[in-house]
Amino acid sequence: MKRILTGIKPSGKVQLGNYFGMIKEVVALQDKYEVFLMIADLHAQTVPYQPQELKFWTYELASSLLALGIDPKKTILFRQSDVPAHLYLYWILGCLSYFGELQLMHEFKEQAERYKKQGVGVGIFMYPVLQAADVLIYNADLVPVGQDQVQHLELTRELARRFNKRFGRIFKIPEIYLKEETAKIMSLDDPSKKMSKSLPEGCLEIFAEEKEIRDKIKKAVTDSGQEIKYDPQNKPGISNLMIIYKYLTNKTLVEIEQEFSGLGYGDFKEKIIEAFFDYFRTSREKKKKIKKEKVEKILNQGAKKANKVAEENLKRILKIVGLR
């Protein structure tokens, strides 16, 4: 059975981009693949954070994933920091990485700009290497991610090739699993940026209060003109809303254009709100019933399974690089 590894940072509530970019795919893939789904708590440390909040968001994220359809009988759901082998391989791969190539990462450039006053952390600079270790320590075949992570995955593939060439063939070269159309949900208040927990105004959190969701959709940036027409170049706001509506309703863009022909942006937004609650109703109810103890048990079981695979691979790696 082919193996999948993917992760998500516990830095806030799950948002629509996480869901359509990654979680939905993993829910579909867990029937056919062996899935390792990691709560990337070490990655969450790359930007300023509060220790108590990190703990809180870890449980919050795990319960959200369960409510959204991740099945712990099929998927190994675990906390990254519970598997020390990731960090061991991170160091080894870091010694194979070049300063120049890490400097080229878009996410690093973005974060470096954002934190330039406070000082840019080395964690942000190195985190694509940790991400490579996350994937390679399980020898994953496939990594489902959103478009924003493709560059990091290209680096993972490159580091795997470099390691194999230098020390001997240990790693599979993982494939990037990307669904083109679902791959990038843009911010509701600035459709030139991706929807992200770090831009809260334009971020639609799946388990937020009903009023907040309604308000954010109503306030979503639209474009000049009145037509509901898919045109990402000239109408990025409406086009992003159409993509969201498309995935909430399973309708095609042409069907959506027809449905709203002659109607205004206000009508369209009302329908998006309705579709959002229809789509996520069951998950929102399910989440309220998930207890912390249950989440803890699932994460502990996941950690055991993940450690077993990661430690076995680490043994082979330590041997081949000359540490054992």
Residue ranges in contact with ligand AMP by CB under 6 A: 8-9, 17-18, 21-22, 40, 145-146, 148-149, 183-185, 194-196
Q: What does the block give as tokens for 292? A: 């912390």
Minimal distance in Å, beta carbon 130 to ligand AMP? 13
β-bridge mates for residue 142, sequence order: 4, 175
Q: What is the DSSP letter of 186?
A: B
Minimal distance in Å, beta carbon 180 to ligand AMP? 11
Minimal distance in Å, beta carbon 21 to ligand AMP? 2
Query: Which residue in the shown chain puts its C-beta closest to ligand AMP?
Result: 21
Is residue 287 within 8 A of residue 63, CB to CB? The reply is: yes
Q: How far apart are CA 73 and CA 76, in angstroms?
A: 8
CB atoms within 10 A of CB 55: 12
Judge residue 151's burial from the number of C-beta atoms within 10 Å of its C-beta, 0-12 exposed, 13-18 middle, 19 or more buried: middle
Nearest to ligand AMP of 109, 169 (CB atom):
109
Q: How far apart are CA 251 and CA 171, in angstroms?
A: 41
Is residue 260 within 8 A of residue 225, CB to CB? The reply is: no
Minimal distance in Å, beta carbon 88 to ligand AMP? 22
Minimal distance in Å, beta carbon 23 to ligand AMP? 7
Nearest to ligand AMP of 167, 279 (CB atom):
279
Nearest to ligand AMP of 148, 270 (CB atom):
148
Nearest to ligand AMP of 107, 270 (CB atom):
107
Judge residue 288's burial from the number of C-beta atoms within 10 Å of its C-beta, 0-12 exposed, 13-18 middle, 19 or more buried: exposed
Q: How far apart are CA 311 and CA 324, in angstroms?
A: 14
Nearest to ligand AMP of 110, 270 (CB atom):
110
Nearest to ligand AMP of 179, 286 (CB atom):
179
Minimal distance in Å, beta carbon 110 to ligand AMP? 12
Q: How far apart are CA 277 and CA 178, in angstroms?
A: 26
How many whole angstroms from its chain centre is CA 9? 7
Minimal distance in Å, beta carbon 287 to ligand AMP? 17
Q: How far apart are CA 144 and CA 19, in angstroms?
A: 12
Nearest to ligand AMP of 190, 227 (CB atom):
190
